[in-house]
Amino acid sequence: MITIPLIKKIAELFLILFATAALVKTGVFKADYSRVLSRISLYFVTPCVIFNSFQKELTPDVQQGLLITAGLAVAFQLVFFLVASVLRRVWKATEVERASIVFTNAGNLIIPLVAYVLGQEWVIYVSSYILVFNVMFWTIGIRMFDHESAFSLKKVLLNPNILAVLFGLLLLFAGVSLPEPAAVAFSDVAGMIGPLSMMITGMVVGSMKPRDLFANRRIFGVLFFRMILCSGLAVLLAAVSGLAGSSSFGKAIVIIPLLSAIAPSASNINQVAILYNRDAKYASAINVLTTLSCIVTIPMWMALFDLL
């Protein structure tokens, strides 16, 4: 059920990536444009994605599903942080490598995949993972890259992504929906996330030579830790949690956060790496290779989960 839609969706996104890379190679675009687009993506488009995901009706079933998916999301993230912490000591993992192991491309890849495979009404459950992802990414995760600025709770709370989470939750629990013009505007901007992220990555890739993707041999280690080790731990945790049988949704409600947990490295990482000058080319190479590998790894892990 997952394999064909996954391949189609990745093919669509990679066509955009390679087209953008070609425009950089031919001089139509400059690689430096990625910095501006990264700011647009991180501080405008991504908040719209987050906020838009909460524009749903909160029924008892939806509430139960959100609690289950949020609980699993927290558990997955804590396990990934533990793995990254160990690798920092024993493998001397850099900030780009650790972030690539911890944070996945749940928004850009899993939202369209869930909508295509399970239906639009199931996308709300991806918002639980996105909620946990963004709280952790814009607090603990951002500290991996920003070593100089002192931690500021005010700065965190005023981040557009965190504000989108807070206001989205407020309207969700209040049962308030935006008027149609505003709702359509948020939805239209949110729909840009996949293509825009691929354009940003494509601009970085376009500035690289093909051999640069494998210039750092440690990339194979990141590939193993993200797509095999962490994904395998997520499948095991989901299976032993017993949550698949705790609601009327069955395995479907567990599959959504699990898909988010076994997804490729987040494209946000290379966007933040651009802003903080933390080896964006390496981050982009990780994003590209983990995304390519998920054509094989996601169906493999989902098949294994069905057997457990």
Domain-embedded: residue 25: no
- Mapping DSSP onto H, E and C, the string for 215-263 reads CCCCHHHHHHHHHHHHHHHHHHHHHHHCHHHCCCCCCHHHHHHHHHHCC
Predicted local distance difference test score (pLDDT) of residue 6: 66
Classify each residue of 60-89 as buried b or exposed e, where b means 16 or more C-beta atoms within 10 Å of its C-beta: eeeeebbebbbebbbbbbebbbebbeebbe
Look at 11-20, 94-103, 242-251 and tell me which has the smallest mean pLDDT: 242-251
Expressed as residue numbers, the domain containing 242 is 3-16+31-307
Domain-embedded: residue 102: yes
> How distant, in Å, are the alpha carbons of 81, 228, 261, 268, 287 from that of 222?
14, 10, 15, 16, 10
At residue 174, does pLDDT exceed 60?
yes
pTM of the model: 0.85
At residue 84, does pLDDT exceed 70?
yes
Predicted local distance difference test score (pLDDT) of residue 155: 67
pLDDT digits (tens, 9 = 90+) for 49-64: 888 878 888 888 888 8
Q: What is the mean pLDDT of residues 35-62?
A: 85
Domain-embedded: residue 35: yes
Domain-embedded: residue 281: yes
Predicted local distance difference test score (pLDDT) of residue 179: 92
pLDDT digits (tens, 9 = 90+) for 97-155: 999 999 998 877 788 778 777 776 787 888 888 888 888 888 888 888 876 665 566 76
Domain-embedded: residue 24: no
Exposed/middle/buried for residue 116 (C-beta within 10 Å: 0-12, 13-18, 19+): middle
Domain-embedded: residue 160: yes
We report the CATH number of the domain holding residue 300 as: 1.20.1530.20
Residue that wins the pLDDT comparison between 113 and 273: 273
Domain-embedded: residue 55: yes
Domain-embedded: residue 22: no
Angle, vertex CA 165, rays to CA 160 and CA 169, nearest 5: 145
Q: How many domains does one find in the chain?
A: 1
